[in-house]
Amino acid sequence: MHKAQFTNPAISVVSPGATILTRELLVRGGAASLVHRDEPDVRLLSDEQRRTSLDTFMKSRPAGDLWIFAYGSLIWNPALRISERRVAEIHGWHRSFCLSMSVGRGTPGQPGLVLGLDRGGVCKGVAYRIDERDVSSELPILWSREMLVGGYNPIWTDLIGDGGEKFGAAIIFTIDQGHDNYAGGISLQEKVRRLAIAEGSWGSSADYLFRTIGSLREHGIHDVEIEHLGVMVASAAFEAFGEAA
Q: Which residues are catalytic?
A: 146
List Cβ neighbours of 56 (8 Å cut-off, separation of 6 or more): none
Q: State the helix-helix crossing angle for 30-38 and 135-146, rounded to 10 degrees.
A: 0
Nearest to 209 by CA among 233, 239, 177, 181: 233
Q: Which helix (H) or strand (E) holds 160?
A: strand 152-160
Count of C-beta atoms within a 10 Å radius of residue 16: 12
Whole-number Å distance between alpha carbons of 32 and 141: 12
CB contact at 8 A, 244 and 3: yes
